Amino acid sequence: MARSFERPKTLAAALEILPGRDWTILAGGTDIYPAAAQAFAWGRPGPAHILDVSAIAGLGAIEETPDEFRIGCLATWTQIAEAGLPGWFDCLRLAGREVGGAQIQNRGTLAGNICNASPAADGVPALLALDARVELCSAAGKRVVSLTDFILGNRRTMRRCNELVTAIVVPKRSPNARSTFRKLGVRRYLVISITMAAVLIETGEDGRIHHARIAVGACSEVAARLPALEGALIGKAAGGRLGDVVEDHMLAPLSPIDDVRASAAYRRKSALVLVRRALRDLSEGAR
């Protein structure tokens, strides 16, 4: 059992509480409760100090400004799916469909998914493809960092003990941008990823790609971009055979491991296949 529990009603109150202890932040609770139950079952200590931010008004809003979309830290996967976001958010919507079942999607938050920092977090590759940034607030002020910098490793982020992730910020793309997401698991739903890939491309008026972002998850300690492939796609016709551009050496940033779900070799091969299929999906949609 936790030794202390706080549920502030305002952001200011939460930020005032934070520096006092090493708090475990509770939003949707879909990661904390299973972890605490497992710790109890094995006689290990669970979270000692829980700060529940779910009662803070306004932190679940999804807002649009002239330059970006701001997804509040309490926004759930279901909210994201139903928010009417532009088509180039498809990679994030599709990733959200893979996060547990409907009950988990109704409770689980996107911010919690990235703060948990699992190598198999479904939201991370999609957010990398969307060039997302993370907003962190403390009593001293606010800072915004790229998602690439925010996640340091397996279950490790750059959030300081006096900070709260308050939003995820996604820059706007042109109407010619589109994205998709592919995931492989041992079954179709309710499964931890073996491999996953998110792809975003943006075309000019001539129908050729002038911007591409591709990220693969569950094949490294942190989901990784594929810059060599992104560069190879620039100038290609969006309706062409984009999957044929992918070559094995372009997956060099990946460092898959052997575990109970798959071997490293299988993960690497499946990543190649998923990226090719994702690009095929986008190229077929452009025809």
Residues 109 and 164 in one domain: yes
The distance in angstroms from the start CA to the end CA of the chain is 57
Please spell the DSSP secondary structure of 157-177, one letter per residue. E---TT-EEEEEEEE---TTE
Q: 69 and 104 in contact (C-beta within 8 Å)?
A: no
Residue 30: the pLDDT is 92
Say if strands 4-6 and 49-52 run parallel, antiparallel, or are unpaired: parallel
CA distance 215 to 226: 6
User: What is the residue type of 241?
Assistant: R
CA distance 197 to 18: 35
Residues 33 and 150 in one domain: yes
CA distance 84 to 203: 22
Residue 1: the pLDDT is 67
Which strand ranges, in their side-by-side order, compose the sheet holding 141-146? 62-64, 68-72, 164-171, 133-138, 141-146
Domain boundary pick from 171, 197, 228: 171
Which strand ranges, in their side-by-side order, compose the sheet holding 195-203? 177-184, 195-203, 209-217, 224-225
Residues 167 and 181 in one domain: no
Residues 152 and 184 in one domain: no
Say if strands 24-26 and 49-52 run parallel, antiparallel, or are unpaired: parallel
CA distance 203 to 169: 22
Residues 213 and 95 in one domain: no
Residue 37: the pLDDT is 86
**CATH code at position 108:** 3.30.465.10
Q: Does the model's pTM come out above 0.85?
A: yes
Residue 35: the pLDDT is 85
Residues 92 and 137 in one domain: yes
Residue 36: the pLDDT is 86
Residues 233 and 256 in one domain: yes
Domain boundary pick from 146, 171, 196: 171
SS3 for 110?
A: helix
In sign, the C-alpha dihedral spanning 237, 241, 243, 245 is negative
CA distance 283 to 110: 28
Of the candidates 281, 286, 283, the residue with the CA atom closest to the CA atom of residue 233: 283
Q: 69 and 173 in contact (C-beta within 8 Å)?
A: no
Residue 273: the pLDDT is 97
Count how many domains the chain has. 2
Of the candidates 46, 62, 35, the residue with the CA atom closest to the CA atom of residue 5: 46
pLDDT in tens, the chain (287 residues): 688 999 999 999 999 999 989 999 999 999 988 888 888 899 998 899 999 999 999 999 999 999 999 999 999 999 999 999 999 999 999 999 999 899 999 999 999 999 999 999 999 999 999 999 999 999 999 999 999 999 999 999 999 999 999 999 999 999 999 999 999 987 766 788 999 999 999 999 999 999 999 999 999 999 999 999 999 999 999 999 999 999 999 999 999 999 999 999 999 999 999 999 999 999 988 76
Please spell the DSSP secondary structure of 57-75, one letter per residue. TTTT-EEE-SSEEEEETT-
Of the candidates 278, 280, 251, 275, the residue with the CA atom closest to the CA atom of residue 264: 251
Of the candidates 41, 176, 32, the residue with the CA atom closest to the CA atom of residue 107: 32
Q: Provide the 8-state DSSP code for 214.
A: E
CA distance 272 to 172: 28
SS3 for 271?
A: helix
SS3 for 53?
A: coil
The pair of structure tokens assigned to 134 is: 């993370």
Residues 158 and 185 in one domain: no
Residue 38: the pLDDT is 87
Domain boundary pick from 171, 191, 225: 171
Residues 100 and 211 in one domain: no
